[in-house]
Amino acid sequence: MVNPPIDQVMPNGKWAFGDDVTDVFDNMLERSIPQYQIMRQACFDLAVKYQQQDTAIVDLGCSRGEAMAPLVDRFGAYNTFVGVEMSPPMLDAIRDRFKSQITSGIVDIRDMDLRREFPAVRASVVLSVLTLQFTPIEYRLRIVKNIYDHLVPGGALILVEKVLGASADIDETVVRIYYQLKAQNGYSQDQIERKRLSLEGVLVPVTARWNEELLALSGFREIDCFWRWMNFAGWVAIK
């Protein structure tokens, strides 16, 4: 297996998921998200638990398809799959990856703005892995309500987000530890700072409690945190 290209992106201006980011995205996530493989495996295991035959599995902000691929391999004979993405280079990459499954009708990749619309499906699993944080706060309740409305009873939303600490002091501490992790993974201080500045106002995290209240307000009654590392967290919410 060929190793993915190494992330050397040095953004100028606001963050965008352009060709340069798309080309190195797998390596970027591996080095930027703590316990990345553990988180990915947990999302997969939960999706396996809540998958229901003859329903859709939806991946919001599907990027290059890393979350969707093992589920397509496992359940391609039993489910349809809908990936939602807005970045043209990411759309090209994932459509190329699933070319045969798209042709056979198993996978459908949508260029869709979740602020305005949602796939018209009956879903048993919806993945939102590091996606909601890139949408303006004022649209998040609408998006999560749309997720709830399109889930079948017993279906699950698997939500992973970067989060703020519960206080300014705690947040400063966990962010400092997070940047130490990125440095240990080979990023220079200049790269870390350039990406931090580029993401300001584009990636807007909220507290873990705020995310849990958002899920409850949308109708979910069974909500639990299945993974947490400092300023990253994952929840499963059942309809």
Q: Does 191 reside within a domain?
A: no
Domain-embedded: residue 193: no
> pLDDT tens-digit profile of 106-151?
999 999 999 999 999 999 999 999 999 999 999 999 999 999 999 9
Please give the pLDDT value at position 2.
59
- Flag whether 13 is in a domain: no
Tell me the per-residue pLDDT of 199-215, one tens digit each, with 9 for 90 and over: 999 999 999 999 999 99
Task: Write out pLDDT tens, residues 56-67.
Answer: 999 999 999 999
Q: Is residue 179 part of a domain?
A: no
**Total structural domains within the chain:** 1
**105 within some domain:** yes
In a domain, 35, yes or no: yes
The residue segments making up the domain with residue 221 are 19-163+204-238
3-state secondary structure of 115: coil
Q: Is residue 31 situated within a structural domain?
A: yes
Does any domain span residue 37?
Answer: yes
Question: For the whole model, what pTM was predicted?
Answer: 0.96
CATH number of the domain where residue 152 is located: 3.40.50.150
């995310």: which residue's tokens?
211
List Cβ<8 Å contacts ≥24 apart for 206-215.
206/137, 206/161, 206/163, 206/164, 207/163, 207/164, 207/165, 207/166, 208/163, 208/166, 208/233, 209/166, 211/159, 211/161, 211/163, 211/235, 214/140, 214/141, 214/144, 215/144, 215/157, 215/159
